[in-house]
């Protein structure tokens, strides 16, 4: 069974290093999402796995077999492209069959597979149409179908939903997830959309500047971001990051935020390496973890009372943005509160529980 | 795994991978190179022949390099060869061609850019119909309208002067160049024009202050088309230039093709090369635009 | 006031173009048609041959030289189509190989910058039986080499076709290359992943995708052939005899050499009809394509 391993992988274009010493292991049946801003190297990595881009150094193995210098067709992969890349001169049926042409399968096997994929994706009524006569969502299904009929163990997706509108995107997201649950194949999926990553992945590799910043389950990268980049990249609105200074009193550890004068009690935080007195740190707090107004029990690690800059209600939740003195602090609030917070000179009392902090060293920007 | 700033990275060199150079790749390359050589042969032949002495030429061996390089052929071609009764070399034709070229450029570019601009960006109900007529006119062979144009220029009293040749060039290229300009202007974002119309609203001011400054590339493309087209033309020059305004190609043709007396191949080739040099310079100097020009020429409508 | 001003200006600006179109194109075509029914010889004579209205056209269809010209037109169109074929093959190879793409394209395209007169003169020189390529081949040991094509009326047109193919191949290569580059990269990648053989990929995917490019090339080529004059003049002077005449050559000859304006006009008008016959499919095609695009965009 295939397990994909990237070992010391490097990609350079001339004097530009796109990927540097990348190591990554994708277990069998996993749904790996490569997530990152554009230009982070995620698509290059996928194309190297597919064999469409040459490797500068390092090796790629699939199921124990070194495929680094293998032709794309010999790697046992199927791929769904961003623009679908359907063959425009062929009908839907022709597209599904054409990909199998090189495998020289018996005719009834081809028909069987094509029918199976068409049923699974509900594209049976479209079989005689040309790609130009299909809607975006239908093209997407055909593209997935063309990958499915190849009956391989590893599927690659290159931003497959980016050309669809918001509603279709949600639909197809669920559908791809369902396919993965049913077929149990390994999937490597590239996207810049964190919602796709958080909802579909069994594991996420967050990339930036050609380096994997964090690799873990969706919950893991959300709750325990490895560094500042991941903390800021995942979540909308993103995690609040404020600069603070460590102050130790007895066996307690505090982080003092100068601008608001608040001291945050980090004694319950599980440091990997305990900071010294006077160290500069960044303290991260997710907007939805704040305790608000009357719900504050007094046992929280930090309490603020801050002026409201503005409050908004974009959907089922409300957000309030508070002035902490230096940084803005985003807080999730009940929609009912938004009206009150929009009054001039409104202030809000918030507190943060002791088990939800993320703390980063100010100079290395890594989690401590 | 940390957040590394890309600029602080040290660049590591990796040993060049032993690339499998495929056999088919080599064969393809050799094939392409052979075709390239074949395509270059006429240019090579014309150059070496023009530098040979007549004695060497009469030995045959068309591909040999000159044993003694001589400018004799070039000198004679430039200033001595005869076209009909006059023996002033292709030099006279060179200056006539330039005299034709300058008004041709002004007429063609001026006419086509303004027409293309008006048709592309201003709401004129019948613009579509007029474009269709221009589209058809662009494909009418010159011979079909040649005789009436001769009669018209004769009536205007310009027949046999470089003005006739220049004006006919301008007129004949108008439909085609207009389509090129129109297709270029059509892709200008309409918001820009709307904004300009609200600010000034004047047809000519928008053209002069906004459209023309944006037209650099397309004007170069059109200039290349006009320069090579006018310079390489033979029939219009022959028909409208009379004896008084023979462009370079006409002089060349008279010398080489219909010339009488002993054939001097080195002189002929030098004359041909002299005639071909200006458009070749334009081509090798501005090749990128040349390709754009022919693509613009083919994909229209 | 400003609005009125800008309503007038664009229409005024179009006046020169409209006048030119009306006089030099539409008017001149009608004029040519009119002259073809008159007794004009060297100078225009606007008396129509009422007693024998179709005189010039009857003469034209019985003229063996016109027959030759039409036959040559067909022959040349088919022969020059090699330029499209070569252009496509070279475009595929250049596009596939990438190395040296710019250099190859520059070399293949340079003949287009050379005038037909110069091209004809060079090729005539190379076809020279005593001093040209034939002599070179014989010296190499090919005793029976015959490259004196221009002197034989059966091969003269082949000689002209070679020169035309040399001249135009780069043009079709450039068009095909831009066609190939307009095909989405991901389709090439999908084919690579599917392991589709190049032959199958080109015949079943690429060529059908480029069918409009091919048609455009074919129509441009045939329109070019109809107008062919300079290169024939430079290479063969219409000869041997009248064997390499083309319709364009016929018209210029009837007008300038034989001094028969009426006759030349009838042949010129036939040229227009031939052009329209070739051109009509292009118009219909573009219309259809625009409609199809509109449908795809929905």
Closest chain B C-alpha to A280 CA, distance in angstroms: 17
Q: Please name which of B95, B97, B91, B93 lies closest in space to residue B79, comparing C-alpha atoms.
A: B91
Alpha-carbon gap, residue A309 to A327, rounded angstroms: 12
Q: Do B1 and A212 touch (CB under 8 A)?
A: yes
Alpha-carbon gap, residue A289 to A333, rounded angstroms: 10
pLDDT of residue C295: 63
Nearest CB to C189 within list A85, A102, A150: A85
Instruction: Please give the residue of chain A at the shortest CA–CA distance from C297.
Output: A132
pLDDT per position as a tens digit, B161-214: 889 999 999 999 999 999 889 888 888 887 887 787 777 778 888 888 888 888
**What is the residue whose two structure tokens read 């277990």?**
A27
Q: Do C269 and B142 touch (CB under 8 A)?
A: no
Alpha-carbon gap, residue A194 to A221, rounded angstroms: 11
pLDDT of residue C36: 85
Query: Residues 5-64, chain C: which have Cβ within 8 Å of B?
Result: 5-6, 9-11, 13-14, 16-18, 20-21, 23-29, 31-32, 35, 44
Alpha-carbon gap, residue A242 to A259, rounded angstroms: 10
Query: Residues 238-297, chain C: which have Cβ within 8 Å of B?
Result: 247-248, 251-252, 255-256, 261, 264-265, 268-269, 271-272, 275, 279, 283, 286
Alpha-carbon gap, residue A264 to A262, rounded angstroms: 6
Instruction: Please give the residue of chain A at the shortest CA–CA distance from C191.
Output: A99
Write down which chains contact chain B via at least 3 CB pairs under 8 A. Answer: A, C
Closest chain C C-alpha to A83 CA, distance in angstroms: 7
- Identify the bridge partners of residue A214 per DSSP, sorted by sequence position: A206
Q: Which residues of C touch A (CB under 8 A)?
A: 184, 186-187, 189-190, 192-197, 200, 204-205, 208-209, 292, 295-296
- Identify the bridge partners of residue A6 per DSSP, sorted by sequence position: A24, A60
pLDDT of residue B2: 44
Nearest CB to C186 within list A71, A85, A99: A85
Residue C192, C-beta contacts closer than 8 angstroms, at least 6 positions apart: A51, A52, A71, A72, A73
Q: Which CATH number fits domain B95-249+278-298: 3.40.50.980, 1.10.3720.10, 1.10.20.60, 3.40.350.10?
A: 1.10.3720.10
Residue A268: φ, ψ to 5°: -85, -10
Chain C residue numbers with beta carbons less than 8 Å from the beta carbon of A148 are none
pLDDT of residue B109: 92
B198 CB-contact burial (10 Å; exposed 0-12 / middle 13-18 / buried 19+)? exposed
- Give the pair of three-digit tokens for residue A80: 């769904």
Nearest CB to B115 within list C14, C114, C169: C14
Write down which chains contact chain C via at least 3 CB pairs under 8 A. Answer: A, B
Instruction: Please give the residue of chain A at the shortest CA–CA distance from C184.
Output: A85
Q: What is B61-118 written as a DSSP string?
A: -TTSPPSS--SHHHHHHHHT--BTTB---THHHHHHHHHHHHHHHHHHHHHHHHHHHH
Q: Please name which of A353, A355, A257 lies closest in space to residue A302, comparing C-alpha atoms.
A: A353
Alpha-carbon gap, residue B96 to B82, rounded angstroms: 16
pLDDT of residue A316: 81
SS (H, E, C) chain A: CCCEEEEEEEEEECCEEEEEEEEEEECCCCEEEEECCCCCCHHHHHHHHHCCCCCCEEEEEECCEECCCCCHHHCCEEEECCCCCCCCCCCHHHHHHHCCHHHCCCHHHHHHHHHHHHHHHCCHHHCCCCHHHCCHHHHHHHHHHHHHCCCCCEEEEECCCCCCCHHHHHHHHHHHHHHHHHHCCEEEEEECCHHHHHHHCCEEEEEECCEEEEEECHHHHHHCCCEHHHHHHCCCCCCEEEEEEEEEECCEEEEEECCCCEEEECCCCCCCCCCCCCCEEEEEECHHHCEEHHHCCCCCCEEEEEEEEEEECCCCCEEEEEECCCCEEEEEECHHHHHHHCCCCCEEEEEECCCCCEEEECCCCEEC
pLDDT values of chain C reduced to their tens digit, one per residue, 298 residues: 345 556 788 888 888 999 999 888 898 899 888 888 887 777 777 777 777 778 888 888 888 888 889 999 999 999 888 999 999 999 999 988 877 888 888 899 899 889 999 999 999 888 887 787 887 888 777 777 777 788 788 888 898 999 999 999 988 998 898 889 888 889 998 998 888 888 889 999 999 988 888 888 888 888 888 888 989 988 888 778 888 899 999 999 888 888 888 888 999 999 999 988 888 877 777 777 767 666 655 4
**Domain residues of chain B, as ranges?**
23-70, 95-249+278-298
Ordered structural domains, chain C, with CATH: 64-297 (1.10.3720.10)
Among A88, A145, A152, the strongest candidate for a mutation testing the C interface, having the largest count of C CBs within 10 A, is A88
* DSSP letter, residue C240: S
Q: Do C109 and B232 touch (CB under 8 A)?
A: no
Closest chain C C-alpha to B203 CA, distance in angstroms: 6
Q: Please name which of A115, A110, A112, A170 lies closest in space to residue A140, comparing C-alpha atoms.
A: A170
* DSSP letter, residue B140: S
pLDDT of residue A3: 87
pLDDT of residue B261: 62
- The 10 Å Cβ neighbour count of residue A247 is 16
- Give the pair of three-digit tokens for residue C88: 């496509």
**ipTM for this model:** 0.86
Q: How confident is the model at residue B17 (pLDDT cuts 50, 70, 90)?
A: low
Alpha-carbon gap, residue B23 to A253, rounded angstroms: 69
From first CA to last CA, the distance across chain C in angstroms is: 41
Chain B residue numbers with beta carbons less than 8 Å from the beta carbon of A69 are 20
Nearest CB to B4 within list A10, A12, A209: A209
Q: Which of A97-106, B43-52, B79-88, B90-99 has the lowest mean pLDDT?
A: B79-88
Nearest CB to C195 within list A50, A73, A88: A73
pLDDT of residue B120: 87
Would the pLDDT of B18 be above 60? no
Sheet holding A280-285, edge to edge: A262-265, A252-257, A240-249, A280-285, A358-361
Q: Do B3 and A227 touch (CB under 8 A)?
A: yes
pLDDT of residue B166: 92
Ordered structural domains, chain A, with CATH: 4-233 (3.40.50.300), 240-361 (2.40.50.100)
Instruction: Classify C263 as helix, strand or coil.
Output: helix
pLDDT of residue A54: 85
Mean pLDDT, all residues of chain A? 88
Q: Do A10 and B17 touch (CB under 8 A)?
A: no
**Interior angle at CA A191, CA A187 and CA A197, nearest 5:** 70
Q: Do A81 and C197 touch (CB under 8 A)?
A: no
Contact A3, A65 (CB under 8 A): no
User: In this complex, is the C-beta atom of C74 within 8 Å of any C-beta atom belonging to chain B?
Assistant: no
User: In this complex, is the C-beta atom of B17 within 8 Å of any C-beta atom belonging to chain A?
Assistant: yes
pLDDT per position as a tens digit, A336-363: 888 888 888 888 889 898 888 899 988 8
User: In this complex, is the C-beta atom of B11 within 8 Å of any C-beta atom belonging to chain A?
Assistant: yes
């Amino acid at each position: 069974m295939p397990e994909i391993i990237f070992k010391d992988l490097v990609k350079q274009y001339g004097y530009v290093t796109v990927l540097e010493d990348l190591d990554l292991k994708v277990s069998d049946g996993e749904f790996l999402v490569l997530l990152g801003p554009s230009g982070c190297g995620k698509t290059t990595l996928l194309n190297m796995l597919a064999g469409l881009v040459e490797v500068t150094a390092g090796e790629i193995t699939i199921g124990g077999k070194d495929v680094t210098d293998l032709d794309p067709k010999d790697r046992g992969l199927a791929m769904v492209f961003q623009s679908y890349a359907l063959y425009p001169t062929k009908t839907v049926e022709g597209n599904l069959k054409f990909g199998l042409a090189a495998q020289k399968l018996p005719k009834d096997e081809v028909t069987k597979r094509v029918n199976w994929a068409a049923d699974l994706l509900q594209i049976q009524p479209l079989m005689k149409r040309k790609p130009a006569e299909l809607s975006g969502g239908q093209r997407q299904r055909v593209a997935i179908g063309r990958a499915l009929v190849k009956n391989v163990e590893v599927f690659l997706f290159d931003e497959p939903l980016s050309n669809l509108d918001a509603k279709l995107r949600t639909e197809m997201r669920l559908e791809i997830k369902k396919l993965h649950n049913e077929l149990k194949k390994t999937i490597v999926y590239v996207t810049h959309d964190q919602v796709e990553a958080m909802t579909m992945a069994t594991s996420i590799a967050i990339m930036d500047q050609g380096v994997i910043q964090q690799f873990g389950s969706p919950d893991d990268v959300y709750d325990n971001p490895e560094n500042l980049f991941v903390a800021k990249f995942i979540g909308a609105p993103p995690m609040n990051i404020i600069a603070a200074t460590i102050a130790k009193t007895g066996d307690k550890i505090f982080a003092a935020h100068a601008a608001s004068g608040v001291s945050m009690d980090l004694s319950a935080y599980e440091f990997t390496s305990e900071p010294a007195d006077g160290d500069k740190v960044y303290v991260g707090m997710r907007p939805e973890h704040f305790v608000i107004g009357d719900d504050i029990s007094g046992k929280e690690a930090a309490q603020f009372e801050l002026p409201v800059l503005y409050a908004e209600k974009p959907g089922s939740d409300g957000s309030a943005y508070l002035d902490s003195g230096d940084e803005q602090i985003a807080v999730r609030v009940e929609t009912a509160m938004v009206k009150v917070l929009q009054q001039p000179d409104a202030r809000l009392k918030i507190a943060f529980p002791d088990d939800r902090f993320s703390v980063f060293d100010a100079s290395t920007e890594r989690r401590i | 795994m940390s957040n590394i700033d890309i600029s602080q990275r040290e660049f590591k060199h990796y040993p060049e991978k032993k690339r499998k150079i495929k056999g088919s790749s080599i064969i393809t390359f050799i094939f392409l190179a052979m075709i390239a050589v074949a395509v270059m042969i006429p240019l090579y032949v014309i150059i070496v022949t023009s530098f040979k002495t007549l004695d060497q030429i009469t030995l045959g061996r068309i591909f040999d390099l000159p044993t003694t390089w001589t400018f004799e052929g070039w000198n004679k071609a430039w200033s001595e060869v005869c076209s009909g009764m006059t023996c002033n070399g292709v030099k006279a034709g060179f200056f006539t061609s330039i005299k034709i070229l300058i008004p041709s450029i002004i007429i063609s570019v001026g006419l086509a850019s303004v027409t293309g601009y008006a048709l592309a960006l201003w709401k004129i109900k019948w613009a579509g119909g007029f474009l269709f007529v221009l589209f058809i006119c662009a494909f009418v062979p010159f011979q079909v309208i040649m005789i009436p144009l001769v009669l018209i220029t004769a009536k205007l009293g310009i027949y046999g002067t470089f003005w006739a040749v220049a004006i006919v060039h301008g007129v004949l290229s108008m439909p085609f160049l207009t389509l090129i300009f129109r297709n270029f202007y059509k892709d200008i974002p309409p918001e820009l024009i709307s904004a300009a119309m609200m600010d000034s609203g004047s047809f000519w001011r928008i053209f002069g202050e906004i459209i023309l400054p944006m037209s650099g590339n397309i004007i170069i493309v059109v200039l290349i088309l006009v320069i090579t087209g006018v310079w390489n033309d033979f029939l219009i020059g022959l028909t409208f230039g009379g004896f008084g305004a023979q462009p370079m190609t006409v002089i060349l043709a008279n010398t080489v093709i219909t010339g009488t007396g002993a054939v001097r191949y080195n002189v002929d080739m030098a004359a041909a090369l002299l005639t071909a040099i200006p458009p070749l310079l334009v081509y090798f100097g501005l090749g990128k635009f040349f390709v754009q020009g022919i693509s613009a020429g083919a994909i229209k409508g | 006031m400003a609005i009125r001003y800008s309503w007038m200006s664009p229409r005024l600006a179009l006046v020169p173009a409209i006048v030119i179109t009306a006089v030099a194109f539409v008017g001149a075509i009608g004029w040519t048609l009119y002259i073809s029914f008159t007794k004009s010889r060297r100078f225009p004579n606007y008396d129509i041959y009422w007693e024998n209205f179709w005189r010039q056209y009857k003469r034209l269809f019985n003229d063996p030289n016109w027959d030759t010209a039409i036959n040559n037109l067909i022959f040349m169109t088919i022969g020059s189509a090699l330029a499209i074929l070569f252009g496509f093959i070279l475009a595929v190879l250049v596009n596939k190989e990438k190395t040296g793409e710019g250099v190859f394209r520059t070399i293949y395209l340079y003949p287009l910058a050379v005038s037909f007169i110069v091209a004809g003169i060079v090729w005539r020189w190379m076809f020279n039986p005593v001093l040209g390529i034939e002599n070179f081949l014989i010296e190499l040991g090919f005793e029976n080499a015959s490259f004196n094509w221009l002197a034989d009326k059966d091969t003269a047109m082949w000689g002209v076709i070679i020169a035309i193919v040399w001249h135009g191949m780069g043009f079709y290569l450039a068009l095909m290359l831009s066609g190939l580059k307009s095909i989405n990269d991901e389709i090439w990648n999908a084919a690579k992943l599917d392991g589709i053989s190049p032959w199958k990929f080109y015949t079943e995917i690429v060529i059908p995708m480029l069918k409009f490019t091919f048609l455009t090339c074919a129509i441009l080529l045939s329109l070019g052939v109809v107008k062919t004059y300079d290169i024939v003049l430079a290479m063969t002077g219409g000869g041997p005899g009248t064997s390499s005449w083309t319709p364009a050559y016929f018209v210029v000859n009837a007008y300038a050499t034989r001094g028969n304006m009426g006759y030349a006009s009838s042949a010129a008008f036939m040229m227009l009809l031939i052009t329209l016959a070739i051109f009509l499919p292009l118009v219909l095609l573009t219309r259809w394509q625009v409609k199809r695009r509109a449908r795809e965009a929905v």
